[in-house]
Structure 1
Amino acid sequence: MEKIIQELVTVDYTQLKEIWKQEHLVITLAYTPTCGTCHVAKKMLEVIKAAMPTLVITQINLNYHADLANDFEIMSVPCILIHSKGSCEEKIYAFESVPYLYKKITSYL
């Protein structure tokens, strides 16, 4: 059986601002590479991306983009930012399950 890999798009803050302007719905994972929970959150989002291949899911390393953390008052990682129509609608810090995240995300469609 072939394994389906759904990579999240790695962006910088400047790119992310442009994506937020252009796309209807954007999911962004704010992470740091040494965070174990961040790796779990990324895997969960990869499952959602496999189920919804047209959904725009990005990731950004906060070690290099502290300005994003300041602008959005991100208190801890991982943090999922849900942007709809150019504005941040929700920040999620607790990742209960893939179905929980899927329901949260699809509520903005």
Structure 2
Amino acid sequence: MFTPLPLKGPEALDTLPTVALVFVHTPLCGTCQLARRMLEVVDAAHADQLPLYDLDANLAPEAMQAWKIESVPALLYVKNGEIAHVQYRFGDVVSLAEAIHQFLGR
């Protein structure tokens, strides 16, 4: 399911596979918990495991600043070590699944 991001600095994206998703959250954020559950549903419905990583924003202030993360929860769509898109709105599971599948080319 969620793999902890191995590094906490801005260079962490360089350690990821070619395409990956990074869920940025904080532990006490209720909206983050809801978004996490939505991502778990999308992952469970997936035939193979999503390249899904998680990062506690509280533990990575330099990365948050370098990546210009405006709020949490945030889902980073990462391609070749670069942020291709940042999703802040988690409307519903179907829309989330469609966005992820489109990004992954599935």
Structure 1 residues 84 and 17, CA gap change in structure 2 (3 angstroms): closer
Q: What amino acid does structure 2 have at the position aligned with 1:43?
A: R
In the alignment, the residues of structure 2 paired with residue 55 and residue 25 of structure 1 have an alpha-carbon distance, to the nearest angstrom, of 10
SS of alignment partner, residue 13 of structure 1: coil
- Say yes or no: does 1:75 pair with 2:75: no
Which residue pairs with 1:86 in the alignment?
81
Post-superposition offset of 1:18: 4.2
Q: What amino acid does structure 1 have at the position aligned with 2:19?
A: L
Taking only the aligned residue pairs, the percentage that are identical comes to: 26
TM-score (normalised: structure 2): 0.85
Matches of residues 1-109 of structure 1 in structure 2 within 5 Å?
Answer: 7-11=1-5, 12-13=7-8, 16-20=12-16, 23-52=17-46, 53-108=48-103, 109=105
- Give aligned pairs, total: 101
In the alignment, the residues of structure 1 paired with residue 56 and residue 88 of structure 2 have an alpha-carbon distance, to the nearest angstrom, of 16
In the alignment, the residues of structure 1 paired with residue 4 and residue 71 of structure 2 have an alpha-carbon distance, to the nearest angstrom, of 19
Q: How large is the Cα RMSD of the aligned pairs?
A: 1.7
Q: Are the counterparts in 1 of residues 13 and 82 from structure 2 also a CA contact under 8 Å? A: no
SS of alignment partner, residue 107 of structure 1: helix
Q: Are the counterparts in 2 of residues 25 and 55 from structure 1 also a CA contact under 8 Å? A: no
Which residue pairs with 1:3 in the alignment?
none
TM-score (normalised: structure 1): 0.83
Post-superposition offset of 1:17: 2.7
